[in-house]
């Protein structure tokens, strides 16, 4: 199949053995690449009951057929594994430049298996790969690791690596690439650390073979221009993703004080314009991106003056800021920088600190537990201090590094009700009591409490029509209808295709499915239709679901924190609302998906329809 | 009757002159609709926008009540 390099690297870290494997054509046609292909490998190779941090787990990096082409935003790669945070299927995805550079070394992806007896890093260059000693890199933060590798190999190598958090098996550790971009969610940095794998450096110039190069070039150029001229681009380019903060706040869905309330009083101190006016140094774009939503920020005043890095994004500002009741944007930015340097997920880190603050407020955590730190809401210094302690797994940071699910199971005393996670993954920055269908999105996402699987927040919280599905209209955010579950289903199938092809989901807002099909058909040479587009996405969603079901997950895991279902929102537009209809929504959603209502498993008929017959015995016997 | 109007990002320029933030309190006649309010602020109709009244999505025909808070956003994406 064109678009793919056609082969992957298999790196057995236990034996320091590297082999090349061809990707079977039939597999490529069914799963295309990226998160799809990686999920297929994971399902086939990681057995039920595998310890996520044991050598039997696999860590799979995969680019897509559009990665490294001239398609707009085609700079992304996926990492797929079993999560140490959730015990479920995990996919994390990142932009920047590492993905395209790696693909041009001549491979679509890498499967890491086993565990190295000592720290190593992998170097991929022009069709070759070798493991190198990483003893001197162990313990180093992300920027230092990246710099040292580039000093050794050359500045033109792109680096993906873990920081100290991944080495210390912090369950929210991420994998960073190009110093500042994160494959952030699900703790896959800890899987990398468990394998004693510090980094992957890549340099390549092998071109991607495109089936219809002239037609592809023309379509890609047209789409690039269309996005470049789009009104939707303007806000993102001007203020970054943090431009959303005002609208979510006005709707009363802004997680504040660990989701105790839905509006943040000092929003003007932390919103998009505040970031632009006070911290923005430069705007940066990922590979082939016309938008440039990335922020280079510099703290100009106060104790962290002079500190520079990238971010913060919308999600990071909310979880590290409003969720912790911190209105000091310098502190939020500093905490964000520390997350990137130690290699931890900003969403989970902020959520954990907010949870700890509420536990302290309620006397569930005391000064004796915290090593003398008063973990109070609104304390900017504590936010920064705790972020660093999580990164180092130091003191109280050791408990915090486990994530809110494990923390609440240990602390008990009712803290389970306000531990804001689904399946162990901390929730992102939209309170479902203000838009109830988003609660269904969190509940059913295979990687846990996640907004990017279906991004139903787009057509609801921020009122953006999604052209990539036929219908994304949600009429009443407080009274979800059966129709809304179809919208979520369709969005999940469609947005999965961005992870599969190696492109950015922001483009899913701006281009319709026909245009994406045109790009995929011209790069792969397949006769690819809109039906194929939707079916491929659906196949991947179902395979991830089957992975979880094989490991014992069930309908009971498709749930929400007690706070969202039982505690009425105390004020604002959503005052008095709870997510009260989850069970009914699940029934409709399962029916839409062809999943068994009692167990939540995909039915045998559905699995057959999608060509996933091999999973039926695994989950039904 | 008095109402609150909040305009965001590039729309701020359509607030009454002398407003020093993105929010103004203005007086409108009873029965004023969202559409006529937008017209009175001279926000061009061809600009796409999202209008929320008290945090809930509204349309041009929505009738405004005393002390309502009307927020108007340009098209947005991201998250």
Question: Which residue of chain B is at minimal alpha-carbon distance from A235?
Answer: B76
Environment class of residue A237 by beta-carbon count within 10 Å: exposed (0-12), middle (13-18) or buried (19+)? middle
Q: How many Cα atoms sit within 13 Å of A591 on the Cβ side? A: 11
Q: Is residue A601 part of a domain?
A: yes
Q: Chain B within 8 Å of A247 (Cβ-Cβ)? A: yes
Mean pLDDT, chain A, whole residue set: 97
Q: Is residue A225 part of a domain?
A: no
Q: What distance in Å separates residue A491's CA from the closest CA in chain B?
A: 15
Q: B2-73: what fold?
A: Ubiquitin-like (UB roll) (3.10.20)
Total of domains in chain A: 3
Tell whether A147 and A246 lie within a shared domain: no
CB-based contacts of A162: which residues, under 8 Å, 6+ apart?
A142, A173, A174, A175, A176, A189, A192, A193, A197, A198, A199, A343
Provide the 8-state DSSP code for A467: T
- Range in A223-227, A273-277, A521-525, A597-601 with the lowest mean pLDDT: A223-227
Q: Which residues of chain A does B48 touch, with a Cβ-Cβ cutoff of 8 Å?
A: 231
Q: Write down the pLDDT at residue A510.
A: 80
Tell whether A32 and A61 lie within a shared domain: yes
Residue A527 has pLDDT above 80, yes or no: yes
Q: Write down the pLDDT at residue B75.
A: 86
Q: Chain B within 8 Å of A274 (Cβ-Cβ)? A: no
Tell whether A40 and A87 lie within a shared domain: yes
Q: How would residue A371 be classed by pLDDT, with cut points 50, 70 and 90?
A: very high
A120-125 and A17-22 strand pairing: unpaired
The predicted complex's ipTM stands at 0.94
Tell whether A163 and A304 lie within a shared domain: no
Q: Which of A397, A426, A455 is the last residue of a domain?
A: A426
Q: Write down the pLDDT at residue A464.
A: 86
E strands present in A404-562: 421-422, 425-426
Q: Which of A181, A203, A225 is the last residue of a domain?
A: A203
Tell whether A417 and A445 lie within a shared domain: no
Q: Write down the pLDDT at residue A283.
A: 97
Residue A390 has pLDDT above 80, yes or no: yes
Q: Write down the pLDDT at residue A496.
A: 97
- Range in A46-50, A228-232, A245-249, A440-444 with the lowest mean pLDDT: A228-232
CA geometry: angle at A430 spanning A445 and A404, to 5°? Answer: 65
Q: What is the pLDDT of residues B59-71, one digit of tens each?
A: 999 999 999 999 9
Is A474 within 8 Å of A488 (Cβ atoms)? no
Q: Write down the pLDDT at residue A511.
A: 86
Q: Write down the pLDDT at residue A466.
A: 86
Averaged pLDDT, A299-303: 97
Q: What is the pLDDT of residues A541-584, one digit of tens each?
A: 999 999 999 999 999 999 999 999 999 999 999 999 999 999 99
Q: Chain B within 8 Å of A457 (Cβ-Cβ)? A: yes
Tell whether A251 and A188 lie within a shared domain: no
Query: B56-67 b/e with 16+ CB inside 10 Å = b?
Result: bbbeeebebeee
Q: How far apart are CA A133 and CA A403, in angstroms?
A: 31
Nearest to A92 by CA among A21, A191, A9: A191
Instruction: List the single residue in B50, B57, B77 with the smallest CB-CB distance to A236.
Output: B77
Tell whether A402 and A535 lie within a shared domain: no
Q: Write down the pLDDT at residue B46.
A: 87
Q: How would residue A506 be classed by pLDDT, with cut points 50, 70 and 90?
A: confident
What CATH code is carried by the domain that includes residue A506? Answer: 1.10.599.10
Q: What is the pLDDT of residues A119-163, one digit of tens each?
A: 999 999 999 999 999 999 999 999 999 999 999 999 999 999 999
Residue B79 has pLDDT above 90, yes or no: no
DSSP string, A144-193: HHHHHHHHHH-TT-EEEE--HHHHTT-TTB-EEETTTEEE-GGGHHHHHH
What CATH code is carried by the domain that includes residue A137? Answer: 3.60.9.10
SS3 A304: coil
Q: What distance in Å separates residue A443's CA from the closest CA in chain B?
A: 19
Tell whether A443 and A418 lie within a shared domain: no
Tell whether A400 and A508 lie within a shared domain: no
3-state secondary structure A335-375: HHHHHHHHCECHHHHHHHHHHHHHHHHCCCCCHHHHCCCCC
Q: What are A507's two structure tokens? A: 């483009």
Q: Is residue A231 part of a domain?
A: no
Say whether B77 and A252 touch across the interface (CB within 8 A).
no
Q: What is the pLDDT of residues A53-77, one digit of tens each?
A: 999 999 999 999 999 999 999 999 9
Tell me the sheet residues that pair with A19.
A10
Residues 476-505 of chain A with CB under 8 A from chain B are 477
Q: What percent of chain A has pLDDT over 90?
A: 96
Tell whether A95 and A180 lie within a shared domain: yes
Question: Which residue of chain B is at minimal alpha-carbon distance from A506?
Answer: B78
What CATH code is carried by the domain that includes residue A299? Answer: 1.10.569.10
Tell whether A422 and A324 lie within a shared domain: yes
Q: How far apart are CA A534 and CA A520, in angstroms?
A: 13
Q: Is residue A442 part of a domain?
A: yes
Chain-centre distance for alpha carbon A165: 17
Averaged pLDDT, B4-26: 93
Length of chain A measured in residues? 621
Q: Which domain holds residue A139?
A: 7-203
Question: Which residue of chain B is at minimal alpha-carbon distance from A293?
Answer: B78
Tell whether A151 and A273 lie within a shared domain: no
Q: Is residue A445 part of a domain?
A: yes
Is A174 within 8 Å of A155 (Cβ atoms)? no
Averaged pLDDT, A504-525: 90
Neighbour tally for A215: CB within 10 Å? 15
A197-203 and A120-125 strand pairing: parallel
Averaged pLDDT, A337-351: 98
Q: Is residue A215 part of a domain?
A: no
Q: Write down the pLDDT at residue A325.
A: 98
Say whether A243 and B9 touch across the interface (CB within 8 A).
yes
């Amino acid at each position: 199949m064109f678009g793919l390099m056609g082969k992957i690297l298999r790196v057995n870290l236990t034996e320091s053995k590297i082999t090349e494997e061809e990707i079977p054509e039939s597999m490529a046609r069914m799963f295309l690449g990226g998160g799809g292909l990686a999920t297929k490998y994971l399902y086939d190779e990681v057995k039920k009951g595998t310890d996520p941090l044991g050598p039997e787990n696999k860590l799979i990096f995969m680019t897509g057929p559009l990665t490294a082409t001239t398609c707009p935003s085609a700079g992304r790669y996926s990492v797929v594994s079993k999560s140490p945070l959730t015990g479920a299927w995990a996919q994390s995805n990142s932009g920047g430049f590492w993905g395209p550079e790696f693909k041009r070394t001549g491979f679509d992806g890498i499967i890491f298996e086993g565990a190295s007896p000592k720290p190593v890093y992998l170097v991929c260059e022009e069709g070759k790969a070798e493991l190198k000693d990483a003893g001197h890199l162990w313990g180093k933060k992300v920027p230092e690791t990246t710099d040292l590798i580039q000093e050794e190999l050359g500045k033109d190598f792109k680096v993906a690596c873990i920081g100290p958090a991944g080495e210390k098996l912090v369950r929210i550790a991420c994998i960073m690439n190009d110093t500042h971009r994160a494959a952030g969610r699900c703790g896959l940095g800890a899987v990398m650390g468990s394998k004693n794998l510090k980094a992957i450096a890549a340099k390549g110039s092998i071109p991607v073979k495109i089936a219809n190069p002239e037609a592809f070039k023309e379509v890609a150029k047209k789409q690039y221009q269309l996005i470049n001229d789009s009104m939707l681009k303007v806000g993102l380019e001007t203020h970054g993703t943090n431009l959303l903060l005002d609208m979510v706040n006005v709707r009363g869905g802004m997680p504040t004080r660990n989701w105790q309330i839905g509006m943040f009083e000092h929003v003007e101190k932390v919103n998009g314009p505040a970031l632009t006016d006070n911290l923005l140094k430069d705007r940066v774009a990922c590979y082939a991106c016309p938008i440039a939503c990335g922020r280079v920020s510099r703290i100009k005043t106060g104790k962290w003056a002079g500190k520079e890095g990238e971010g913060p994004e919308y999600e990071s500002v909310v979880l590290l800021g409003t969720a912790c009741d911190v209105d000091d944007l310098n502190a939020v930015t500093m905490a964000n920088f520390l997350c990137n340097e130690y290699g931890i997920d900003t969403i989970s880190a902020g959520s954990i600190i907010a949870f700890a603050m509420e536990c302290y407020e309620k006397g569930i955590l005391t000064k004796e537990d915290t090593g003398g730190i008063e973990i109070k809401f609104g304390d900017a210094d504590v936010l920064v201090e705790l972020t660093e302690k999580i990164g180092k797994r130091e003191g109280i940071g050791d408990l915090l590094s486990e994530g809110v699910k494990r923390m609440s199971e240990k602390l008990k005393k009712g803290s389970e009700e306000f531990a804001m996670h689904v399946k162990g993954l901390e929730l992102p920055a939209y309170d479902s009591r203000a838009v109830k269908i988003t609660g269904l999105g969190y509940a059913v996402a295979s990687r846990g409490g996640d907004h990017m699987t279906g991004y139903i927040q787009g057509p609801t919280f921020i009122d953006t029509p999604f052209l990539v599905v036929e219908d994304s209209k949600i009429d009443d955010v407080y009274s979800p209808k059966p129709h809304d579950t179809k919208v979520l289903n369709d969005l999940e199938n469609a947005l999965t295709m961005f992870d599969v092809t190696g492109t950015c989901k922001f483009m899913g807002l701006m281009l319709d499915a026909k245009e994406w099909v045109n790009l995929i058909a011209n790069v792969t040479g397949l006769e690819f239709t809109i039906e194929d587009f939707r079916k491929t996405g659906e196949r991947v969603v179902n395979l991830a679901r089957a992975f979880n079901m094989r490991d014992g997950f069930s309908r009971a895991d498709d749930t929400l924190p007690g706070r969202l279902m039982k505690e009425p929102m105390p004020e604002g537009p959503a005052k008095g609302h709870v997510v009260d209809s989850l069970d009914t929504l699940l029934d409709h959603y399962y029916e839409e998906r062809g999943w068994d209502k009692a167990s939540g498993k995909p039915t045998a008929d559905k699995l057959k329809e999608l060509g996933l017959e091999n999973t039926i015995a695994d989950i039904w016997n | 009757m008095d109402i609150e109007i909040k305009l965001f990002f590039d729309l701020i320029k359509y607030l009454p002159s002398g407003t020093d933030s993105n929010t103004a309190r203005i007086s409108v006649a009873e029965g004023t609709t969202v559409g006529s309010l937008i017209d009175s602020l001279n926000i061009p109709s061809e600009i796409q926008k999202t209008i929320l009244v008290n945090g809930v999505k509204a349309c041009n025909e929505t009738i405004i009540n005393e002390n309502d808070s009307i927020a108007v956003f340009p098209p947005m994406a991201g998250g």
